[in-house]
Amino acid sequence: MMAEILSVSFLAGLLAATLRMATPIVLAMLGEIITERAGVLNLGIEGTMLFGAMTGFLVTMSTGSAWLGVLAAAGVGMLLALLMAFLVVFLGLSQHVSGLGITLFATGLSMFVYRLHFGSPTVPPTVTPMTKVAIPLLSRIPIIGPGLFNQYVLTYAAMILIPAVWVLMYRTRIGLTVRTVGENPMAADTVGGNVNLVRTLALVAGGALMGIGGSFLTLAHQNMFLRDVIGGRGWVAVAMVIFGNWNPGRGTIGALMFGLLDGLQLRLQGWGLPIPFDVFLMVPYVLTIFALVSVSRRAAAPAALLKPYRREVRG
Amino acid sequence: MRTVLVKRGPIPSWSRAVTPLGAIAVTLLLSAVPILIAGAPLFRSYGALFYGALGTRFNVLETLVKSSPLILTGLAVAFAFRAKFWNIGAEGQLLAGAIVATWIGVTFGSLPRFVMLPLVMVGGFFAGGLWAVIPAVLKTRLNVDDVVSTLLLNFVMIHIMGALLFGVLQKEGAGWPISEEIFDSAKYPFLLARSRFHLGIPLAFLLVFAVWFVNERTVFGYRSLAVGTNLHAARFAGIPTTRVIVMTAVISGGLAGLAGVGEVAAIQFHLLADISPGYGYTGIVIAMLGALHPLGVLLASLFFSVINVGAQTMSRMTGVPSYISGVIEGLSLIVMLVALLLNEYRLKVVAS
Amino acid sequence: MDVHSTTGNTPAVAMHGVTKRFLDNVANDSIDFSVGVGEICALLGENGAGKTTLMNILFGYYGADEGTIEVYGEPRTFTSPREAIAAGIGMVHQHFALVPTHTVLENVVVGTGKGLFLDRAGARSRLEALKERFRLSVPSDAPVWQLSIGEQQKVEILKALYRDSRILIMDEPTAVLSPSETPQLFRTLRTLTSGGRSVIFISHKLHEVMEIADRVVVLRNGQKVHERSTSDTTVQDLSRMMVGHEVRSNRTEPWHTGGATVCRIDGLSVEDDKELPAVDDLVLELREGEILGLAGVSGNGQTELCDALFGMRLPSAGAVRVVDRHGTVRVLEPGRPYAAVAAGMARIPEDRMHTGLMTSLTVEQNLVLESHAAPPWNRHGLLDWAGIGTHAEELIGAYNIRTQSRRERAGSLSGGNLQKVILARELSTNPRLIVASQPTRGLDVGAMESIHARLREERARGAAILLISDDLDEILQLSDRVAVMYEGRIMGEQTGGGIDREQIGLWMSGVVQ
């Protein structure tokens, strides 16, 4: 068995699977980080991902272009984020409840639209999945090459977005404004920042990433839409935001860990070990909980998270 | 120009009563859009929906049957949320209850019914309750966010169940995940002829009253509310907040566990991978829709049950996919949230 | 009446007939207000007189219902602070609008500049130049939470200057400063005006207003009642205008001598949230029938001391001994609020909205927050709501709580009535020991007097009272003994007729003889 684990193809495959499995989580997590940094917890994430997955699949099916599918997924993610913004930013309703409401609504709508369009076929319809793109030269490096540099474009995009979101948050003017809005909206307001606009835009940007993250699952990872295609990855992304202390880099470590376990679990399954398959499936969730325990003491959530902002109060 | 929310004066009680009805009306109006998009005639569709849910004695009883797990998970979530223990884990707690009920039900066949039935119920209750203690302790002792931990524990429990259904609980010789049938002594008795109206339904109604009584009349219910209203001030007042939260979790998880018991002991008689079509998650919506009040939970559960059962008939008669029920449920929550807000505030356009 | 200022030219700001209503309450009633170029104008008034509201309107934070605003002679309407800032107006709020986890530089530059990226280097050199010019020394790269309150105020002033504010509104700037930091602030303000900037100084402290301002405008109940050059008026005049009647500044009642010791705080040390020492080896004794006033500028460990006494914070050293109802001495179990309740300590916390009460529960529910689990209300786990209701009605009457009914949500009561709910709950058990922290902060004169009267009654009954307040006048009016807290330590103590205001002021500034 050791020989098997250390074989070149196994390691390369595992590395590739790690990045692939981490992709949707990274995308959704980055979206959630942007949103939460502005002070809004978006628990609509799971439903937004599912609706993105369904829309991406449907549009790809009808147009034949996976990229149009991804674009449509981003679009519906933004629409759901606007609905969320209406509820929690404009009306100031509970972020917990509104987010869960959106997840429920989007889940129902995804299944409804899918059924409406495809009926209940015995064999689920499929699309031609996106193809992997090998980066010249780099992909020829042993193990690492096929592992890291022969991936879907969305995976590369997710990896590039990690530093990009970090730069956006910590090195740009808009990033500073977003963080200020999430920490102390009054500080942003008194220097002329429009708190509710910033929050709405952060939600919309985050929603787009969540939608794209969902579409990766139906357009690249798999080529069909199933009811449990997201399988809690949205919730894992929320956990990773906390694990990463609202920092894209640290959150990615968690997402990669999750991806690694996911990838490992698929491989171990093939070996016919005398342990039920579900035990492996459980491991990533259990470890995520342990990871949360380990970081909970130093957790530094944005101070204004969950708090609606209103100016017209008696001063 | 911008709009602001201005608080209204005291809310008349008739308005409180009318609001949910208005919200339901608006929801059904909005849900007309997907029904029309599906190409179905609107009135015939809604007609089919209500006939399917309430048209005959059998349909009414079936709707009640469907409502019992919703009432229990709704109560579970409402009880937890009242103490601001964000229990999104009723699904996992339900499964825990179902697993233990099954294990007892297939193991202790020699016990008489009057021992077996309480044993199954108590076992299922504590299975769910103890599963909910984990996030409660993580929250109070280690400051782990309860929303996330309860969510993740759902997936852990799904896979524990999967492992058991492919392992020790799997039916002899079965190639798919299903347990042995539980002994008859562990099954809930059916109370009305020619229907599946079982013991779990009056039990759920009784628990609605019990939860109301605990909330309104007991020291524990008052403390639970105080903890949920303002944890800091509750601690200041000398209330043992950790103990209150953990106890709240036990009761909440236990109620969800009983929902699992009901599905095993009255509906399926086996443990199956899809024993719950997401009752735990629906319970969250029901709790919110019922404004965390036991009576509200009861009414919201009945409403959802009507929609769920009716959507099947509507699907058969007019071809609208039965998933419309999910859309209606999601919409109803969003509409209700807005309606409750507008009950207290009005929108005002101001110059600046 | 001389309305305009030293320069005689167009005023920097002129507000005419400004009216602002909140629900049924008129916060500003047709107020005219102006400030000249290079002038320091004080806006004087009691809590709730409408000072802050008027300035929030000028700053674009609220919209006025009626009235006009001119800035440097041009009519303006600001719909947001952004527009006010662009017109050269800056405001330093009483509660600083800073992000504690961000650095000074980040707090200053947020919302300024052009382009996508933050120009840290450019911003830094500009900030350093401002710090140099106005002698406002703060570390640019330190997170704000590490700074003292005085330094945080400097950050707020720098924020305004960084945005080229020509008109600076300072809302109660000295409330948070120690007496020794105030002259430094005043020097800064004079430097600003000598360069042609204008300052609006909101305050309710008469002596300060006389010292710093060129002119003073007095508001009372939302109306302008007085406007004078400070050279043409006196403290007595201003005081009468501000309160609406003559105030006695001298204490008329005798001092009481304490009896037996009821509580001993022994070498107590407590750390704050940053794990820095906040209370340092503190010793105090509280005696029967005596009010001990603990004076000090807020932020010198009073909050942490209270938290430790109330069981809300674990002390790092020391003990608190209390004589309970039965006359036995017990050491309070640290870190357990219930221990303080059980020992019979009446606790009036400084944050009544979030600690003392639950605003979304009813008055009745709030009245039994501490006693619900004990007889007679707790009957085998069930609550006797009927009995609680009768009890609540009695307390509402006895403490004159203005509420629609005992089932009214506490949150809809006024601040004074909320405090009465707390007093009713805490004092109805006839406690031997009362710890009251900032009991009248933010309350109007009427509510304040009734709470003072209640504390005097409790003293007469024989209770030992620890009164913690950053309002020195309140301390001097009520206390029989005064101790001064500075940086977590007791600087000194004076008793009865020996209490000397000047000496106490020095101690509050940390000056030791």
pLDDT in tens, B230-270: 999 999 999 999 999 999 999 999 999 999 999 999 999 99
Cα–Cα distance, C476 to C460 (Å, whole number): 18
User: At residue A202, does pLDDT exceed 70?
Assistant: yes
C385 touches chain B (CB under 8 A): yes
**pTM, whole model, 2 decimals?**
0.90
Average pLDDT of A21-45? Answer: 97
Nearest by CB: C355 against B219, B220, B236: B236
Task: Find the closest chain B residue to C22 by CA distance.
Answer: B6
- Asked whether the beta carbons of residue B351 and residue C79 sit closer than 8 angstroms, the reply is yes
pLDDT at site A2: 58
- Asked whether the beta carbons of residue C62 and residue A177 sit closer than 8 angstroms, the reply is no
> Higher-confidence residue: A261 or B118?
B118
Coil/strand/helix, residue C28: strand
- CA torsion angle A185 A190 A196 A199 (round to 10): -50
pLDDT at site A128: 87
Q: What is the pLDDT of residues B302-324, one digit of tens each?
A: 999 999 999 999 999 999 999 99
DSSP letter for A150, please: E
Reading the block at residue C8, the tokens are 């005689």
- Asked whether the beta carbons of residue B233 and residue C354 sit closer than 8 angstroms, the reply is yes
pLDDT at site C174: 86
Q: What is the pLDDT of residues B180-217, one digit of tens each?
A: 999 999 999 999 988 999 999 999 999 999 999 999 99
Beta bridge partners of C261: C287
Give Cβ neighbours of residue A314 (< 8 Å, ≥ 6 apart): C22, C27
CATH code assigned to B2-350: 1.10.3470
User: At residue C3, does pLDDT exceed 80?
Assistant: no
DSSP letter for C14, please: E
Nearest by CB: A239 against B148, B159, B330: B148
Confidence of residue C5 (pLDDT cuts 50, 70, 90): very low
Average pLDDT of A113-119? Answer: 92
Cα–Cα distance, B150 to B224 (Å, whole number): 19
Task: Kindly tell me the burial class for residue C179, based on how many C-beta atoms sit within 10 Å of its own C-beta (0-12, 13-18, 19 or more).
Answer: middle
Residue B269's region, left for phi above 0, alpha for psi from -120 to 50, else beta, is: left
Nearest by CB: A176 against C27, C118, C159: C118
**C98 vs A contacts (CB less than 8 Å):** 184, 187
Return residues 18-77 of B near A (CB < 8 Å).
34, 37-38
> Higher-confidence residue: C510 or A199?
A199
Q: How far is A179 from chain C (nearest CA, A)?
A: 9
Best C57, C61, C99, C412 member to test A by mutation, with max A CBs in 10 Å, is C99
- Contact pairs from chain A to chain B, CB under 8 Å: 154
Task: Kindly tell me the burial class for residue C204, based on how many C-beta atoms sit within 10 Å of its own C-beta (0-12, 13-18, 19 or more).
Answer: middle
Coil/strand/helix, residue C436: strand
Return residues 263-302 of B near A (CB < 8 Å).
281-282, 284-285, 288
User: At residue B345, does pLDDT exceed 60?
Assistant: yes
pLDDT at site C8: 54
Q: Which amino acid is at B166?
A: F
User: At residue C1, does pLDDT exceed 60?
Assistant: no
Nearest by CB: C111 against A191, A312, A314: A191
Subunits close to C (at least 3 CB pairs below 8 A): A, B
pLDDT at site A274: 74
User: At residue C216, does pLDDT exceed 70?
Assistant: yes
Q: How far is C51 from chain A (nearest CA, A)?
A: 10
pLDDT at site A162: 97
**C311 vs B contacts (CB less than 8 Å):** 238
In contact, B79 and B248? CB cutoff 8 Å: yes
pLDDT at site B3: 67
Nearest by CB: B229 against C60, C77, C361: C361
pLDDT at site A6: 65
Three-state secondary structure along C205-227? Answer: CHHHHHHHCCEEEEEECCEEEEE
* Cα Rg, chain C, nearest whole Å: 25
Task: Find the closest chain A residue to B39 by CA distance.
Answer: A116
Task: Find the closest chain C residue to B351 by CA distance.
Answer: C63
Q: How far is B135 from chain A (nearest CA, A)?
A: 10
User: At residue C96, does pLDDT exceed 60?
Assistant: yes
Confidence of residue B2 (pLDDT cuts 50, 70, 90): low
- Asked whether the beta carbons of residue B236 and residue C63 sit closer than 8 angstroms, the reply is no
pLDDT at site A5: 62
Average pLDDT of A101-124? Answer: 91
Best A227, A243, A296 member to test B by mutation, with max B CBs in 10 Å, is A296
DSSP letter for C396, please: H
Comparing C-alpha atoms, which of A131, A120, A180 is closest to residue A153?
A131
Task: Kindly tell me the burial class for residue C245, based on how many C-beta atoms sit within 10 Å of its own C-beta (0-12, 13-18, 19 or more).
Answer: exposed
- Would you list which residues of chain B are within 8 Å, Cβ to Cβ, of chain C? 2, 7, 217-220, 222-223, 225-226, 229-230, 232-240, 350-352
User: At residue C25, does pLDDT exceed 80?
Assistant: no
Exposure on the CB side of residue A209, measured as CA atoms within 13 A:
27
Reading the block at residue B123, the tokens are 């076992």
- Asked whether the beta carbons of residue C107 and residue A187 sit closer than 8 angstroms, the reply is yes
Cα–Cα distance, C79 to C209 (Å, whole number): 30
DSSP letter for A219, please: I
**B223 vs C contacts (CB less than 8 Å):** 372-373
**A312 vs B contacts (CB less than 8 Å):** 4
User: At residue C255, does pLDDT exceed 70?
Assistant: yes
Nearest by CB: C98 against A171, A179, A187: A187
Helix (H) or strand (E) holding C74: strand C74-76
Nearest by CB: B337 against A101, A281, A293: A101
C185-197 burial code (b ≥16 CB/10 A, e <16):
bbebbeebbeeeb
pLDDT at site C390: 96
pLDDT at site A105: 93
Q: What is the largest CA-CA distance in chain A?
A: 71
- Asked whether the beta carbons of residue B230 and residue C358 sit closer than 8 angstroms, the reply is yes
- Asked whether the beta carbons of residue A276 and residue B166 sit closer than 8 angstroms, the reply is yes
pLDDT at site B341: 86
For chain C, percent of residues with pLDDT exceeding 90: 64
> Position of tokens 């592992």?
A147
C109 touches chain A (CB under 8 A): yes
Domain ranges of chain A: 15-120+147-230
Average pLDDT of B81-96? Answer: 96
Which region among A54-63, B286-295, B312-321, C42-51 has the lowest average model confidence (pLDDT)?
C42-51
What is the CA A16 to chain-centroid distance, rounded?
Answer: 18
User: At residue C2, does pLDDT exceed 50?
Assistant: no
Mean pLDDT of chain A: 90
Reading the block at residue C95, the tokens are 């509660």
**C97 vs A contacts (CB less than 8 Å):** 184, 186-187, 189-191
In chain B the first and final C-alpha atoms are separated, in Å, by 5
Average pLDDT of C150-172? Answer: 94
B331 touches chain A (CB under 8 A): yes
